[in-house]
Amino acid sequence: MPTSAAATFVSMDGTATVSGFLTEPDRYRHLLDAGRPGPVIARGSGLSYVAASMGPGILSIATRYFDRILAFDPETGLIEVEAGARLGPLLSFLLERGYILPVIPGHPAITIGGCIACDVHGKNPARDRTFREHVVALELWHPKLGLRSIRAGTPDFDATCGGYGLTGMIVSARIRAQKVGGTAVRIDLTPVRDLGEAHAILTEKAPRADFLYSWHDWSRPGSTLGFVVEGTITAGPRAPTQFAASLERGARFPVMNRLTIPLFNAAYGAKLARKNGRVAPLTDALFPIASLAAYYRLYRRGLIEHQVLISQAAWPDYWPALGKLFDDHGVRPVVSSLKMFQGERQGVGFSGAGISLTFDLVNNDRSRALLSRLDAIDCDIGALTNPAKDSRLTATVFRRQTPDLPSFLARRAVLDPDRSFRSALSQRLAL
């Protein structure tokens, strides 16, 4: 029997502190024995912004020792890995062999289990869709039902991908890696006047770009100047062997306010502009903020990240209305950015077609009041909030934004009949 200890977890965004238990099994027999009475949840690197892999009184089962590459076929790129494998080492392995994962979120310590359970998106979701599209099969463990193999295209697979760890613990997965033409990225910037112009350029580039997003300085009323950033993978030096990452979340300090947000944006925009036309190693381009310890210390009371997927039809009216909300509430976003999405919405995860707008606000009452107002607008226009990123999303808003919730809950009742798997996130969203 593995040991478990009382543990205090803090969500990545700093807004939730949870007292639970932690076990870190290092053998399959320990994992399979982890069945202590009471609720459990799988834990990767804890890099979800929200409290998804922890919960009050809940045992978090960490996958950190389940990080092996089990098989790789150099002809097809099919790779089988344990769920605790982290993106950084896995990418080093693949790049040395001329392959890459098609969907890569923004931190090298994120695990494969976390990628599947949150059905994450990568550098160009309009072209590459979300992580599940590239998973062929997975092994799922449940304390009562044991180990089961689950293939893509089955209802159990659909509930597990983007199921926030609530259908069981993913032990390993088979994933289709893609051939890659190099180990560096050429960055090209197109200046844009506003979020409308950015949308037009992103739409035009989305079918082909390797990396594609826009960044905007929304720190001054009436202005959303920015850049569309396109990355093209190109021949580079040797395959990178190490992806730098900071997991530091130490002391938080209140550096962001009405005076410093414009300064921060000006500095960030200038830094971005210097990258135009440059070729950067993949190590830097894939994870631009991962090594910045300061990113994790930006706010005293945590940052609020809000990410929402808006339909193409709603977009022209949406962003000017949001600008007005910022003005009315006296709130300015610290960072804001767009990505394009394509595909069908799948289950209860963050997927579908449209424009994904992400912005960070200082966590205070004004920001929360603004976001509550925005929730109502989002529900009315059928927009979708990312549950893995937004700590204040309520069960009511989630239910209104998730038409497939009843079918997810029905499948989950089969896969986890006594609701052994729970988390602070599942409690908040009534999942």
Ligand X SMILES: Cc1cc2nc3c(=O)[nH]c(=O)nc-3n(C[C@H](O)[C@H](O)[C@H](O)COP(=O)(O)OP(=O)(O)OC[C@H]3O[C@@H](n4cnc5c(N)ncnc54)[C@H](O)[C@@H]3O)c2cc1C
Neighbours of 370 (CB within 10 A): 21
* Closer residue to ligand X (CB): 52 or 135: 52
**DSSP secondary structure letters along 301-350:** T-EEEEEEEE-TTTHHHHHHHHHHHHHHHT---SEEEEEEE-S---TTSS
What is the CA 398 to chain-centroid distance, rounded? 17
Torsion of CA 31, 32, 35, 41, to 10 degrees: 50
The nearest distance, CB 13 to ligand X, in angstroms, is: 9
Judged by beta carbon, residue 113 or residue 240, the one nearer ligand X is: 113
Rounded distance between C-alpha atoms, residue 68 and residue 335, angstroms: 36
Query: Closer CB to ligand X, residue 81 or residue 225?
Result: 81
In whole angstroms, the minimum distance from the beta carbon of 45 to ligand X comes to 4
Tell me how far, at minimum, the Cβ of 253 lies from ligand X, in Å.
19
Rank residues 90 and 118 by Cβ distance to ligand X and give the closer one: 118
Q: Measured at the alpha carbon of residue 110, what is the angle toward residues 171 and 336, in degrees to the nearest 5? A: 140
Distance CA 393, CA 385 (A): 8
**Is the Cβ–Cβ distance between 55 and 165 less than 8 Å?**
no
Which token pair is 184? 């560096």
Tokens of 354: 């449209």
Instruction: Pick between residue 169 and residue 212 the one whose CB is nearest to ligand X.
Output: 169
What is the closest distance, in whole angstroms, from the C-beta atom of residue 308 to ligand X in the complex? 13
Residues that bind ligand X (CB under 6 A): 12, 41-48, 52-53, 63, 83, 105-107, 110-111, 113-114, 117-118, 120-121, 164-165, 169-170, 289-290, 388, 423
What are the tokens at 357? 């707008």
Which residue, 53 or 214, has its beta carbon nearer to ligand X? 53
Of 219, 215, 190, give the one whose Cα is nearest residue 205: 190
Cβ-based neighbours of 334, under 8 Å, separated by 6 or more = 219, 256, 261, 264, 265, 298, 303, 359, 360, 361, 362
| Residue 239 CB, nearest approach to ligand X (Å) | 22
Q: Which is nearer to ligand X, 120 or 225 (CB)?
A: 120
Nearer residue to ligand X within complex by CB, 225 or 405: 405
| Main-chain phi, psi angles of 87, to 5 degrees | -60, -40
The least CB distance from residue 110 to ligand X, in Å, is 4
Q: How far is the CB of 223 from ligand X (least distance, A)?
A: 26
AA letter at 96: E
* Nearest of 24, 118, 41 to residue 422 by alpha carbon: 41
CB of 369 to ligand X, least distance (A): 26
Task: Report residue 349 as tokens.
Answer: 């995860």
